[in-house]
C-alpha cells in the first residue's frame, strides 16, 4: 500500500531531516509512528500524504511511484487517504456537519446523497447533538472527534493521524483509539503519530515505527 525506499528529505541546502527510510505499510495494518518531539514524525506523515516530495529515494503509494504522479493523480489518491491533523484544521465558518461532509462535497457528491451518511457518522463519534455548532464553540475533544470523522467519512484505505489524542484527557484518548481500532478492523490501514507511550502500551498488537536521528526503527507488535 505504502512503501518507502531509501527516502531522504532536506530543506534547501540544509542537512537531511530524515534519511535512508526503508519501510512499508501493509493494507489493513495498524501502526504507531513515535519518537521524541521534533524527531520528524510530522515530516514523515507529510511525505506519506504526498504534501512533501522526498529529495532522494522513492515513495510508492497504492502501487504507484509518487514521483511520477501528476497533480490530478495526487488529488485522486488523496481521496483514498484520510488525514487527522494535530491542530484539527477544521474550517471555522462551517458547522461540524459541513466540516465532516467536506471530502464528499469536494468529490462532487450531492448533499442529498451523503446527508444520512454524515449524520450517522457524527452520531457514531458522539457529535450527534453538535452538528450545527461551529468549531470555535466546540471543546478540544469535540474538535478532535470532528476531525477524525472528516477523515473517516470517505472510508479511507489509509488513515494518517498526527497526535490525534494530544489534546484530550486519557479517557477520551482511549475511546478515540478504540475508534481507530474499529476502523482498522473494517479494513483500513492506520498510521498514528504519537509520543504517548502509555497509550501505545494499551494497544500492544500495533507495530511501532520509531523515528530518531532521522531514521526509522521498526518494532512489530505482539500478536493480539
Partner 1 sequence: MTGTAGEDQFALGPLPATRRDMPLIPGDSVAGRALVVVIAIMTFLACLTAGGALLVAHASQFWRSDVLRDVTIQVKPGAGDDLDLLVAKVVSVASRAPGVEDVRPYSKAESEKLLEPWLGGGLDLSLLPIPRLVIVHMRGQGAEDLAALKAALAPEVPQANLDDHRLWAARIGTMANAIVVLAAALFALMMLAMGTAIGFATRGAMAGNREIIEVLHFVGASDGFIAREFQSHFRRLGFRGAIIGGSAAVAFFFAASALSVWWARSPGGEEIAAMFGAFSLGPTGYGALALVGAAVTLLTGFLSREIVVRQLQTLQ
Q: What span, in angstroms and rounded, lies between the C-alpha atoms of 176 and 209?
A: 20
CB 111, min distance to partner 1, A: 6
Chain centre distance of CA 86: 9
Question: Under rule CB under 8 A, which residues in 155-184 are in contact with partner 1?
Answer: 155
Pick between residue 110 and residue 222 the one whose CB is nearest to partner 1. Answer: 110
Answer for which of 70, 132, 198, 222 binds partner 1 (CB under 8 A) is: 132
Residue 207 is a binding residue for partner 1 (CB under 8 A): no
Residues 94, 133, 181, 210: which binds partner 1 (CB under 8 A)?
94
Measured torsion, CA atoms of residues 84, 61, 17, 217, in degrees rounded to the nearest 10: 90
Closest contact distance (angstroms) between CB of 140 and partner 1 is 18
Choice between 126 and 221, CB closer to partner 1? 126
Closer to partner 1 by Cβ: residue 121 or 216: 121
Asked if 159 and 190 touch (Cβ cutoff 8 Å), the reply is yes
Do the beta carbons of residue 214 and residue 11 sit within 8 Å?
A: no
Cα dist. 81→26, 61, 118, 171 in Å?
14, 10, 17, 27
Q: Please give the distance of CA 156 from its chain centroid, rounded to a whole number.
A: 10
Binding residues (CB under 8 A) for partner 1: these are: 49, 51, 53, 71-72, 75-76, 78-79, 83, 85, 89, 91, 93-95, 97-98, 102-103, 105-108, 111, 113-117, 119-121, 123-124, 131-132, 150, 152, 154-155, 186
Amino acid at each position: 500500500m505504502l512503501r518507502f525506499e531509501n527516502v531522504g528529505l532536506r530543506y534547501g541546502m540544509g542537512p537531511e531531516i530524515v534519511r535512508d527510510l526503508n519501510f512499508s505499510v501493509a493494507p489493513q495494518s495498524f501502526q504507531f509512528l513515535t519518537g521524541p518531539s521534533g524527531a520528524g514524525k510530522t515530516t514523515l506523515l507529510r511525505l506519506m500524504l504526498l504534501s512533501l516530495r522526498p529529495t532522494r529515494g522513492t515513495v510508492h503509494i497504492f502501487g504507484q511511484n509518487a514521483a511520477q504522479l501528476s497533480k490530478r493523480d495526487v488529488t485522486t489518491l488523496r481521496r483514498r487517504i484520510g488525514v487527522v491533523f494535530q491542530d484539527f484544521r477544521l474550517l471555522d465558518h462551517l458547522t461540524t456537519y459541513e466540516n465532516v461532509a467536506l471530502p464528499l462535497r469536494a468529490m462532487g457528491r450531492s448533499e442529498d446523497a451523503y446527508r444520512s451518511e454524515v449524520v450517522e457518522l457524527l452520531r457514531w463519534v458522539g457529535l450527534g447533538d453538535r452538528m450545527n455548532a461551529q468549531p470555535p464553540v466546540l471543546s478540544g475533544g469535540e474538535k478532535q472527534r470532528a476531525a477524525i470523522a472528516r477523515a473517516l467519512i470517505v472510508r479511507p484505505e489509509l488513515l494518517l493521524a498526527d497526535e490525534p489524542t494530544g489534546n484530550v484527557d486519557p479517557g477520551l484518548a482511549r475511546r478515540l483509539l478504540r475508534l481507530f481500532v474499529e476502523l482498522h478492523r473494517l479494513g483500513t490501514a492506520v498510521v498514528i503519530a504519537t509520543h504517548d507511550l502509555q497509550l501505545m502500551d494499551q494497544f500492544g498488537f500495533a507495530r511501532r515505527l520509531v523515528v530518531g536521528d532521522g531514521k526509522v526503527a521498526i518494532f512489530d507488535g505482539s500478536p493480539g
